[in-house]
Structure 1
Amino acid sequence: MKYILDGNEKDVANVIREQRIRTGRGLISFTPISECGLITKEDARKAMDEKLTELTASVEENESLKSQISGFELNMKEKDALITSLTAERDGLQARISELEAVADNKELPAGDSKELPAEDSKELETSDDKTINVEEKKRGRPATRKTE
């Protein structure tokens, strides 16, 4: 059986003192309310106020997160529009490239085109038939050239 003793503090203390022999033997036990898990109204109010402040803070945090998310959504919409426009531009450029390649493939050279360069376009090169070996070249270790006549 379990009971909660309620009354004047002095009288409850007398009851506990009178029953000290039985409490010493372990036949009965007295547990204060704070240890048995019962909560007073003051403790309950404090706990509820703390919980309320936590919930209020979390609601405010959620509101700031919602505003960030809406900003991200607007950013994503702008980026999607940019991607769409760039994709259309890329497709247009690819079509233009294929047109230009088709024109380049069909290009024919004029009949009067020859593979010879005119004399004025060519650069004159100095050629010498002198095949003697310079002494300086020999000292540098260059291979000697043979005379062929």
Structure 2
Amino acid sequence: MYILQGESKAIESLIKEQRIRIGRGLITITPASEAGIVSEEDVKKTFDSQQKVIDELSEKNKSYEKEIDELKARLAELDSHVDDAKDVPEEDTKDVEQADTKEVPAEDDKEADVQDEKKVSASKKKK
């Protein structure tokens, strides 16, 4: 791909001289705007607009950081006012009274009925 630069009359005469090759499809001419080439001015405009967005986001970030610092300071202040004294009565001992109130009968009433009677089928008796 080539970009032709120069006086417009010279470029037009060059294109006229090459009309046979253009007609045969050996050479194609595509305007720079259709080829996807972006001009330097457009790049600068895009860059400037993106830079503005970046600057705005940076300012918001700084304001959020200040707000976070203020909230941390406020939280530290509130934490300092909290009375965290745990009063435990002196009478508190770890001795536990052990009184077993569950009664279990000593008798075991489980009786097993032993009936070991096997039924033999008629075919096995014949053997």
TM (norm. structure 2) is 0.56
Q: Over the residues paired in the alignment, what is the CA RMSD in angstroms?
A: 2.7
Letter in 1 for 2:51: L
Alpha-carbon distance change, 77 to 8 in structure 1, aligned in 2, over 3 angstroms: same
Letter in 1 for 2:38: I
The alignment status of 1:9 with 2:8, answered yes or no, reads yes
Q: What is the rounded CA distance, in whole Å, between the counterparts of 2:48 and 2:76 in structure 1?
A: 42
* Residue in structure 2 matched with residue 58 of structure 1 by the alignment: 57
Q: What is the rounded CA distance, in whole Å, between the counterparts of 2:17 and 2:38 in structure 1?
A: 27
Listed as ranges, the matches of 1:84-103 within 5 Å are: 85=83, 87-88=84-85, 91-92=86-87, 95=88, 98-99=89-90
* Residue in structure 2 matched with residue 28 of structure 1 by the alignment: 27
Q: What is the rounded CA distance, in whole Å, between the counterparts of 2:37 and 2:30 in structure 1?
A: 11
Q: Secondary structure at the match of 1:56?
A: helix
Pick the structure with more helix per residue. 1
Q: What is the rounded CA distance, in whole Å, between the counterparts of 2:16 and 2:77 in structure 1?
A: 80
- String of CA shifts for 1:23-64, please: whole Å, max 9, x gaps: 343321222223344433322321222122112111111111
Give the unaligned 5+ runs of structure 2. Answer: 94-127
TM (norm. structure 1) is 0.49
* Residue in structure 1 matched with residue 70 of structure 2 by the alignment: 71
**Identity across matched positions, percent:** 35
Q: What is the rounded CA distance, in whole Å, between the counterparts of 2:58 and 2:92 in structure 1?
A: 62
Letter in 1 for 2:67: Q
User: Higher relative contact order by CA 8 Å / sep ≥ 6: 1 or 2?
Assistant: 2
Alpha-carbon distance change, 101 to 45 in structure 1, aligned in 2, over 3 angstroms: closer
Give the unaligned 5+ runs of structure 1. Answer: 103-149
How many residue pairs were aligned?
93
